[in-house]
Every structure is written in C-alpha cells, then in structure tokens.
Amino acid sequence: MKRIVVLAFVLVMLASLMLGCSKDDKTPTPAPDSQGGLPADSMAIAAERGLTPDDINAALMTYTPSGTWDEYITFMSGGHSGNLIAVGVPSMRILKNIAVFTPEAWQGYGFGNTEIEQMLDAGNVDGETIRMGDSHHPALSETAGDYDGQWIFINDKNSARVAVIDLRDFETKQIVKDPNIISNHGATFVSPNTDYIFQGAQYATPFGWEYAPLSEYQEKYRGMMTAWKFDREAGRIDPSKSFSIELPPYWQDLCDAGKLVSDGWVFCNSFNTEMATGGNMEGQPNFEASVSQRDMDYMHIIDWKKAEQVVAAGKTEEINGMPVISIPTAIEEGVLYLAPEPKSPHGMDVTPDGKYLVVAGKLDPHVTIYSFDKIQKAIASGNSTPDAFGIPILNFDDVMVAQLEVGLGPLHTQFDDKGNAYTSLFLDSMVAKWKLGGDDPAAYVVLNKVPVQYNIGHLVAAEGDTVSPDGKYLIALNKWAVDRFTPVGPLLPQNEQLIDISGDAMKVIYDMPMGVGEPHYAQMIKADKIHAINTYPEVGWDPISWQKSEFATLPGEERIERNGNEVEVFMTSVRSHLTPDRVEVKQGDHVIWHITNVETAQDATHGFQLDGHNISLSIEPGETANFEFDATNSGTYPYYCTEFCSALHLEMMGYFQVAP
C-alpha cells in the first residue's frame, strides 16, 4: 500500500516538475510515462529504496547535480580539530577543510612551510609551541551589517587566539594571541563595518594568566573584552591599534555586536557571577552546581565607541603591551553596564534591526528579549545598583521586553527575513520557531517546532547574523548522532541537519555526518558574494604577504647555491618534473629550499614531501613556497610531488642526499 502511495506521489511530482506547472495551471497533466521522457525507473528506485514522499521532496531540494554549484557556503568551526570547514548548501557537501590553528598535511599547513610556521608561531604561548586549537565562532567580515565575502575570522577558545582567513584563496593569513587572557569564548564577532573583531574571555585568570591562589579570585582574577582592530587595507589585525576592557571575573560567554540602532555597542552574556572556584575534592560542590546557584547572572553591555575614545584619550593602563581600560575607568566613563539575565544564560543574539537582544535560558525554558532602547533609557535614568566591583546593574524590568517559553535547554537564536526567530533547544533536541513581537510582550509567540537528532548546540540561518537575513535555510548543529549513520566506532560524527524554513512549518531535508571536526558555530553566506581566485595572480606568488615572493623562481632560473654551511635550493615544479631533481648537501648543512609552481592552469597544484623530514607542502598554481631545515642525518631521501597531477606523476621526484 505504502509503495502505491509513493509511486503515485512521485508520478505527480515529477510531472509537475517537468512541466513547471502550478496548481492554477490549467494544462492537463499528461500521463507520466516513458513516452513523456520521464525516467520510469526513478519511480522504481523510490519504491525499491522505500522512500517516502517527504524523502523524495528532500532529495529534490538538496540534490546538486555534477557541475552545478551551491547557492550558499556555510563556514563551520571545527571545534577541537582547530580548523574551519566550508560546506555547500543545499548539497551539504564539504567543499574545503581550511587549516587554521592545527597543522594539516594536505594543505601543507604546519609541516615546514616557513611563512606558515611563522604565522603559527605567532600563536605560541610563553615559548610553548601550540599546534592545536578549539575553534568556536566564525565571523564573516561585514560592510554596513551585511556579509561582504572578503574575510572570515575565528577564535581559538583554548589559548585565546584569533585567526584571519582570506576568502580570495580560503587560507589563513594571521593568528594573534591575546597577551592578557588564556581562554576566550565570546569571539569572534565583528562590528557592522568590521572595524573591530571582538573577543570576550571565558574562564577568568589573573592578567597574563599568572599565578594567584584561587582564594584571591575576586581580587586578582579578571575577565576581558578585547577589540582587535582590523585593517582592511592590509587584511590584518593591527594589535597596535587594538585595546581591551577589564571585566569582572564572571565567565563571559557568548557575545554579539550591535547593529543599526545599536551599532557601537557589544553585548555578552555571562555565568559564574557566583565567582565559584571549584574544590570538589575539598568539600566544595562541582563547578556545574556552584556556578548555577544564583537566579540571575549578568549581561555585559559595552559601549565600544566610547571605549575607543577613552583609549584615544590615553585613559588606559598598558598591560603586557595591550592598552586596557580598567573597571573603575569603564564605570566612570560610562563604557560598561550590567543587566540581570535569568539563571545560567547562554547565547546573545541581536535581532536584524538591531533593536532587541535575545538571551536564552539554558536551565530556564525561556528566552529573554531585551530592548536596546530600554537599555539606553535605563542607563540615562541612572537607576541601578552596583555589583561587587561597582559596575551599575540596570533593573531587569527596566530593560526586558518579554520572556517567551520556547522549550527545554534553549541556547542560540537565529533570524529569517519574515520577522521570525529560531532557537535551538538542547534538552528537547528541537528547534523552536517564534515570532518577534517588537515592544509588545504579548506579540511574542511560539509558532512551531521541529525535532532534530540530537542535542543541538548552535544553529545557523542563511545570512542569519546580518541586517538582512535570507530565510530559506537553517542548519541545526547537532552534537550527537546516535543511530543516524552507518556505525564507525565509538567516536561518532556530529549531525548537521539542513532545515527548509521557506514555509510555515520547518522541514529537515538533509542529515550530514561531520566527521572532521565538531562544529560549534557557523555562518552561512550567499556563495556569489565570495570572489575566490582560480590561480595566484602571478607566478612566484607569496600567498601570505600577497605579493610576488623574493624567492620566485622561473624556468631556467633553477639553481643550488652554497654559502659556507648554508645551501639554498631554487626549484620549480611543473607537470611532470621537479627541477633540480638532484640535491646533494653535506651532513650538518643548513638547507633553505624554495619551490615555485610555475603552472598557470587552474587546479594544477603540485604537492611536495621530503621523505624522513616531516615536510609537506601544497604549492598551488603560481605559488612560491619555502622551507628550511638542518641536514642532521646523512642518507638518501627521495622527494616527490604528492598531488596526482599527471599520468607521469610518480616520476615527479628527485633525490636529496646528505653526504656524511
């Protein structure tokens, strides 16, 4: 019986697709059979695979034939794999795994390439080489509050670092380390014109993560908000024009930058306003209990434009090279305010019009909606009570507009183009769709919900963090994938579920197993906003400095130069040979090696690995890559191209010999 229903449904749907007819179309639907050019076997396939009408619908909405491109690109953080993953929507195919904080051999990232090593080294901590990361929140660069497709930034929660990725070649260009905090979380969030990339701390430590007994937590431990200045011209964060604001040792959590009316402000939720310090072996409760005692935590409300003026006026203290606005100065200058947030808040999402802020409850089934206008009026009224550090806490009732019960474990909220909001419900494993009600508390209503599998964290809507979201698609970033995919052992992939939000009811239309990282957050941009290059602009290009490399080597210029104990190799690669194909040095020599891929054809990448030396490069068409090392061991080491570039790819090799 089910099969007959399926068959009938497929027939009608395929027919209407072929004819592009609508309900009003009076053209009679011809009998869909093989005469009409319809593949009769598609019905058989659907029946054979037991596909329901919904399945077929979902397949038709997501299947992306060979050679056709996705409408959107979603950039998903890789979590503790420390990378950033570009996924096409609606196909949900991984387009690229972008190495950021963690070495990745395919891209030749962190395996010898001199410029990349230097960039990664900029993220080292106190001489400790850090080659992992915990990437959380990607932020696309914006112009006037809209994604402009030029850059994307991402934080490393583990060591409080921020990376800059260029969307011309989808490669990481810079990593900066905050000199005063060792863990971040409310990062990265950009101001509407990407003047600043904001980074809120997470677990409080003394500045510079120095030692201080936990008994001195309130006096010595601090949170922080850092405003990293982005120089668009240079395509780099300029630490010399960046600044920080000292915050209380509450754990700042998620942040968002204001937009339109609220431009100039940044907001963070926080937890552990209890200032708990653990001690579960010393008779204290676990953190999970001790940081959840109070009924209210504090939203941090920061006037960054005013902070910028305070910095310009020199009212800062330089701590570890960073100008820092102290808490007393922030209070005096009107830079910092607090507002109560219901129990264990999470998420901070500014509505597209910039007028409202949504904070979710985590342990409270409500989302709380705050009004920026009310916040401004409350600040102007002077009605507040000081917290333990003297920071004014505005009255909850003065700033809150509505509280809406959305379900259990609300975390994050996204927006569409029709005035609706979508909140992830971790405990319910659902997405709740609700209506924004402006200043009228009664106008906020839950519209409907859709189950997701399982334990949803963040969710992302098409252009969902901009001043003009697209609606259309939403992705649920689910942490658990029990029973969803063919088993692959105890460590399961995550499940990224694509949801169609074009209609009234939400529909899950694709389950994507993410087996290369644990996405925390993502941003989804219209693909045609990104103008990625096909090959580097000129042969001999340095992708990091974005100019011709001083080591560019053209055909005919290949050479090996010796200068005392230093041997410098200038090599070219082209299908299907490396020139020179013999390099001989003496044991103890220092070897500096440059390779230029002189190809100009798109996709004619040559990789390079040197046996026994932990060296792996990816040299894209036009690129010059460099590496250096000490020839410590004598021996014979083949080097070869790692990309299967031609029929004679295996012949693309050479011998590196170290004479004793």
SS (H, E, C) 561-599: EEECCEEEEEEEEECCEEECCEEEEECCCEEEEEEEECC
Among 259, 300, 458, 606, the residue binding ligand CUK under the rule CB under 6 A is: 458
Binding partner of 411, given ligand CUA, ligand CUK, none, CB within 5-8 angstroms per partner class: ligand CUK
Peptide bond into 451 cis (omega under 30): no
What residue type is 115 in one-letter code?
Answer: E
DSSP 8-state class, residue 396: H
- Residue 414 burial (CB < 10 Å; 0-12/13-18/19+)? buried
Pattern 630-649, binding to ligand CUA, x per CB under 6 A?
Answer: -----------x-xxx---x
Q: Which is nearer to ligand CUK, 255 or 595 (CB)?
A: 255
Shortest distance (Å) from residue 607 CB to ligand CUA: 7
Q: Is 507 in a helix, a strand, or coil?
A: strand
Binding partner of 259, given ligand CUK, ligand CUA, none, CB within 5-8 angstroms per partner class: none
User: What is d(CA 204, CA 250) in angstroms, rounded to the nearest whole number?
Assistant: 7
Q: Which is nearer to ligand CUK, 90 or 457 (CB)?
A: 457
In 328-343, which positions are buried (b, 16+ CB within 10 angstroms) versus exposed (e)? ebbbebebbbbbbbbb
User: What is d(CA 383, CA 323) in angstroms, rounded to the nearest whole number?
Assistant: 30
Q: Which is nearer to ligand CUA, 399 or 578 (CB)?
A: 578
- Residue 361 burial (CB < 10 Å; 0-12/13-18/19+)? buried
Give the Å distances, CA to CA, from 272 to 192, 289, 366, 392, 654: 29, 10, 19, 18, 59
Binding partner of 119, given ligand CUA, ligand CUK, none, CB within 5-8 angstroms per partner class: none
Torsion of the alpha carbons at 67, 68, 72 and 75, rounded to the nearest 10 = -20
Binding partner of 306, given ligand CUA, ligand CUK, none, CB within 5-8 angstroms per partner class: none
Place of tokens 């659907």: 46
DSSP 8-state class, residue 205: B
Rule CB under 6 A: say whether 606 interacts with ligand CUA. yes
- Cβ proximity of 352 and 394 under 8 Å: no
> Interior CA angle at 192 toward 186 and 194, to 5°?
75
Binding partner of 433, given ligand CUA, ligand CUK, none, CB within 5-8 angstroms per partner class: none
Shortest distance (Å) from residue 12 CB to ligand CUK: 43
Among 80, 520, 594, 613, the residue binding ligand CUK under the rule CB under 6 A is: 520
Among 136, 374, 449, 606, the residue binding ligand CUK under the rule CB under 6 A is: 136
Among 162, 512, 652, 658, the residue binding ligand CUA under the rule CB under 6 A is: 652
The number of residues that bind ligand CUA (CB under 6 A) is 7
Binding partner of 652, given ligand CUK, ligand CUA, none, CB within 5-8 angstroms per partner class: ligand CUA
CB atoms near residue 248 (< 10 Å): 25
Shortest distance (Å) from residue 536 CB to ligand CUA: 16
Q: Which is nearer to ligand CUK, 254 or 460 (CB)?
A: 254
Binding partner of 436, given ligand CUK, ligand CUA, none, CB within 5-8 angstroms per partner class: none
Where do runs of H (alpha helix) occur along 325-431? 327-332, 372-381, 396-399
Shortest distance (Å) from residue 586 CB to ligand CUA: 29
Phi, psi of 209 (to 5 degrees): 45, 40
Shortest distance (Å) from residue 571 CB to ligand CUA: 12
Binding partner of 610, given ligand CUA, ligand CUK, none, CB within 5-8 angstroms per partner class: none
Q: Which is nearer to ligand CUA, 229 or 577 (CB)?
A: 577
Rule CB under 6 A: say whether 457 interacts with ligand CUK. yes
- Residue 5 burial (CB < 10 Å; 0-12/13-18/19+)? exposed
Torsion of the alpha carbons at 573, 575, 576 and 581, rounded to the nearest 10 = -10
Q: Which is nearer to ligand CUA, 146 or 643 (CB)?
A: 643
Q: Is 505 in a helix, a strand, or coil?
A: coil
Q: Which is nearer to ligand CUK, 157 or 449 (CB)?
A: 157
Rule CB under 6 A: say whether 157 interacts with ligand CUA. no
Binding partner of 137, given ligand CUA, ligand CUK, none, CB within 5-8 angstroms per partner class: ligand CUK
Shortest distance (Å) from residue 647 CB to ligand CUA: 10
The number of residues that bind ligand CUK (CB under 6 A) is 11
Q: Which of residues 157-196 bind ligand CUK (CB under 6 A)?
A: 185
User: What is d(CA 186, CA 578) in angstroms, rounded to the nearest whole number?
Assistant: 47
Rule CB under 6 A: say whether 251 interacts with ligand CUK. no
Tokens of 132: 């992992």
Shortest distance (Å) from residue 113 CB to ligand CUA: 17
Binding partner of 645, given ligand CUA, ligand CUK, none, CB within 5-8 angstroms per partner class: ligand CUA
Beta bridge pairs of residue 630: 590
Where do runs of H (alpha helix) occur along 193-303? 217-220, 287-290
Binding partner of 173, given ligand CUA, ligand CUK, none, CB within 5-8 angstroms per partner class: none
Shortest distance (Å) from residue 521 CB to ligand CUK: 5
Q: Which is nearer to ligand CUK, 477 or 585 (CB)?
A: 477
Among 411, 425, 460, 506, the residue binding ligand CUK under the rule CB under 6 A is: 411
Shortest distance (Å) from residue 649 CB to ligand CUA: 4
Rule CB under 6 A: say whether 137 interacts with ligand CUK. yes
DSSP 8-state class, residue 526: E
List the 635-640 sheet strands across, edge first: 582-586, 653-659, 635-640, 606-610, 615-619
Binding partner of 63, given ligand CUA, ligand CUK, none, CB within 5-8 angstroms per partner class: none
Q: Which is nearer to ligand CUA, 291 or 652 (CB)?
A: 652
Binding partner of 58, given ligand CUA, ligand CUK, none, CB within 5-8 angstroms per partner class: none
Shortest distance (Å) from residue 610 CB to ligand CUA: 14
- Cβ proximity of 539 and 604 under 8 Å: no
Binding partner of 649, given ligand CUA, ligand CUK, none, CB within 5-8 angstroms per partner class: ligand CUA
Binding partner of 606, given ligand CUK, ligand CUA, none, CB within 5-8 angstroms per partner class: ligand CUA
In 433-460, which positions are buried (b, 16+ CB within 10 angstroms) versus exposed (e)? bbebbbeeeeebebeebbebbbbbbbbb
DSSP 8-state class, residue 280: T
Sign of the torsion formed by the C-alpha atoms of 492, 415, 134 and 146: positive
Beta bridge pairs of residue 432: 423, 449
Q: Which is nearer to ligand CUA, 236 or 649 (CB)?
A: 649
Shortest distance (Å) from residue 41 CB to ligand CUA: 40
- Cβ proximity of 346 and 412 under 8 Å: yes
Residues in the chain: 660
Q: Which residues bind ligand CUK (CB under 6 A)?
A: 136-137, 185, 254, 346, 411-412, 457-458, 520-521
Residues that bind ligand CUA (CB under 6 A): 606, 641, 643-645, 649, 652
